[in-house]
Amino acid sequence: MQVKTFEALTMNDAIKSVKNEFGNDAIILNTKEKTIDKKNKMYEVTAAVPETTPSAGASAGIAAFKASNQSSEISEQLSSLDQRISNLTDILPRKSSINNLEGGIEELKALLLEALRTKENHIISQIPKSMTKLYRQLSLTGIDESELAKLITYLKDLPDPTENSNKIPINMGDHYQSQAIRWMLKRISITPKWTPVSGTTKIRAFVGPSGSGKTSAIAKLAANYHKQHKAKILLVSFDQSKLGSNEQLRLYAKILGVQFETINSTKDLEKILDKNTDIDMVFVDTAGRSPKNSQLIEELNLFQESSLPLDFHLVLSITEKQAQLDRAIRSFSALGISSLIFTKMDESWSYGEIFNLSTKWSLPLSFFSTGPRIPDDIERASKERVVERIFGL
Ligand SMILES: Nc1nc2c(ncn2[C@@H]2O[C@H](COP(=O)(O)OP(=O)(O)OP(=O)(O)O)[C@@H](O)[C@H]2O)c(=O)[nH]1
Ligand SMILES: [Mg+2]
């Protein structure tokens, strides 16, 4: 209970003050008349009000009541919000569990790496010490695990060279390297030379992913066969992919002084060859096709339907990842690939992919492009060159 004494010059004013401050529930406890001087008097009213009752006048009381009502609504809403938030935090992973998860992933990574290391160490531990340098070197140059496993088995099965060495010391590391080179040489296949035969027209279409070096390779080969073999060359562009896409080859043909034609169909080529029966070699340049777009690759099938004796040669840049190159071979193999041409050999550090892919797909190698210069930067593929690059000889 709150008790207070109110003073006023009239009793009425004193009661009003009580009502204003304590409201209608105020209880008058006492009234007193006080003489100030001869003329003036003061009235004192002592009133009390319960603690819960609104503590101001009527309007203040209503306002206070409303405010208390609103605040109870707000506090209800707040508590439901609180509940929802606490439900959400129950569902959401706590920081500690995220930390645990991250820790778990790190642990898994470490385990995986450890497993890989153990696997490699296991393979290495299984092979004689004199073979480990060779294993690591070939692994670094990109030779596939499965090929390496085959090589190691082959090397292990070889007769011990020290038995017939007449006590002359043998460097086993060198021995295994030369045996590995022989093993590789046997497994790489190279196309027969593209020697022009007079009276026959050989048509070769260069296909491959965009920018792999098809047009450049054709220009280089045309220049070389034209100059060195005096072959009658026809350069054909079957590339309507973009405006002016034929122009690059047209220009090369002009510089080299060889015939150039553009075609839109195999019929066009048949007509051109009917009129030019003395042509020895035809190089057909095609638009770059993404291995992802099988429809574009299938378009080239129309060459199969014609009676023209045409071979497809897949031009691949060695700077691409092996998975990408593998995908390209898979996609273009529907055409029936006769050989692989690897370009940008000057821009790569690892050559194991050449061995992996040609052996995996049993595809012979025909040419290596060793730089951008036309006509110099091209060479006929050879087993020795592959091995030389792989072993860094
Ligand atoms: N460093 C290097 N660059 C090369 C080699 N071969 C081609 N190039 C460059 O690669 C780029 C593309 O060569 P192109 O011959 O136009 O390739 P493409 O396959 O005909 O390209 P698209 O017709 O667009 O599919 C050019 O800048 C060439 O100079 C090579 O062996 N080494
Ligand atoms: Mg091109």
Q: How much distance in Å is there from the Cα of 343 to the middle of ligand 1?
A: 8
Q: Which amino acid is at 155?
A: L
Task: Identify the nearest ligand to the CA of 216 by its number.
Answer: 1
pLDDT of residue 119: 67
Atom number in ligand 1 closest to CA 347: 1
Confidence (pLDDT) at 31: 85
Taking CB atoms within 8 Å and a gap of at least 24, the contacts of 58-67 are 58/19, 58/23, 58/24, 60/23, 61/23
- In short, whether 296's Cβ falls inside 6 Å of ligand 1 is no
Residue ranges, the chain, pLDDT below 70: 52-70, 89-96, 117-125, 165-167
Atom of ligand 1 nearest to the CA of 209: 25
Which two three-digit tokens encode residue 130?
């004199």
Q: Ligand 2 centre and the CA of 328: distance in Å?
A: 17
Q: Write out pLDDT tens, residues 116-150.
A: 766 666 666 677 888 888 998 898 888 988 899 88
Q: What's the CA-to-centroid distance between 369 and ligand 2, angstroms?
A: 14
The amino acid present at 191, given as its one-letter code, is T
**d(Cα 304, Cα 284) in Å, to the nearest integer?**
14
Nearest ligand 1 atom, CA 378: 31
For residue 364, give every residue at least 6 positions away whose Cβ sits within 8 Å of its Cβ, in sequence order, or none.
Answer: 189, 190, 191, 338, 339, 340, 358
Model pLDDT, residue 145: 86
What secondary structure does DSSP assign to 112-156, as a single string?
HHHHHHHHHHHHHHHS-HHHHHHHHHHHHTT--HHHHHHHHHHHH
- CA dist., res. 288 & res. 215, Å (int): 10
**How many CA atoms are closer than 13 Å to the CA of 303, on its beta-carbon side?**
24
**E strand or H helix that includes residue 244:** none
* Predicted pLDDT at 56: 45
The ligand that comes nearest to the alpha carbon of residue 221 is 1
Closest ligand 1 atom to residue 218 Cα is 15
> Sign of dihedral through CA atoms 271, 275, 278, 279?
negative
d(CA 311, CA 340): 12
Mention every residue, 6+ apart, whose C-beta is less than 8 A from residue 89: none
Q: Which residue of 214, 215, 216 sits with most ligand 1 atoms within 8 Å of its CB, as the best mutation to test the pocket?
A: 216
Question: Is any ligand 1 atom within 6 A of the Cβ of residue 317?
Answer: no
Phi, psi of 13 (to 5 degrees): -65, -40
pLDDT at position 366, please? 98
Sheet containing strand 41-49, edge to edge, reads: 2-8, 41-49, 27-35
